[in-house]
Amino acid sequence: MANFFRSIWVIAYRELLRFLQDRPRMISSFSMPLVFLVIFGAGFSRLIGQMMPGVDYIQFMYPGILAMPILMTSVMSGVSIVWDREFGFMKEVLVSPLNRSGVLAGKAVGAGIIAILQGTIMLAVAPFLNVPIGPRTVLALIPLLLLLSFSLSALGLMIGARMRSQQGFQLLMQLVIFPMLFLSGIFFPVAQVARWLEILSKLNPVTYGIDAIRQAFLGAEVAGITVFGHTMAIVDSAIVVGLVGAVFLSGAVRAFNKQE
């Protein structure tokens, strides 16, 4: 057990250092959410107006914008496995005393720490957008951001464990990230779209992560998606994200052990 936690610490620390030393990656992780915020927020806010009573379009969209860099960074964390395999570092890890399951968990934990850093920076934009935020909101957001990042990292690691080239992984991730992004309810209420699109959105685990984050900002009386007649509370959505993440991580461990 001690070796398992030591493996998590070593790998998570390495992932954090790689992120901090890669300035283009740091800048790009924030640039796309800000671009979406400017284009959709400034461009469409007057056209769309209020999405819900007392909530304008920017306020509605901001929780999703906050989660967007976490989505992209977490899912793309699987490329580290492919990179390590291509450059021979993975062989060194596998012959070391590190626990294999701990290696994957460490990559997921490292992504979670990076998610908190990204979320903290994005929170600084909230007061300028008239988005209500306070200490209680921040305290509620931290576990939600960690949970969402952990679950999406597990998805990226599960896919990365099966890939052999960075190019193939990145192309596949584009096909995964953008549907998950646009079907997550960032830009529109899930209940106000066509029935088939609503069903696809509710099959998307990111939808429940966005819903929990939005409720932390706007309250359950404003946000909250309905599944089988039940309006999901923050805890309900968090449980869904956690369960899906556990399934992804289990698949990642099996794929990693099988491929290596």
The number of C-alpha atoms within 13 Å of 253 and in the hemisphere containing its C-beta is 13
Q: What is the pTM of this model?
A: 0.84
* pLDDT tens profile 216-226: 887 766 667 88
Pair of tokens at residue 33: 């959410």
| Cβ contact 150:108 at 8 Å | yes
Domain boundaries, the chain: 2-259
Specify the pLDDT at position 81: 76
Helix ranges (H only) for 22-134 are 23-36, 43-48, 57-75, 79-86, 89-95, 100-123
* pLDDT tens profile 131-150: 778 788 888 888 888 888 88
What residues contact 59, with CB distance under 8 A and at least 6 apart?
A: 129, 130, 131, 132, 217, 218
- Identify which of 66, 71, 62, 65 has the alpha carbon closest to the alpha carbon of residue 218: 62
Is residue 111 scored above 60 in pLDDT? yes
Residue with tokens 């309006």: 231
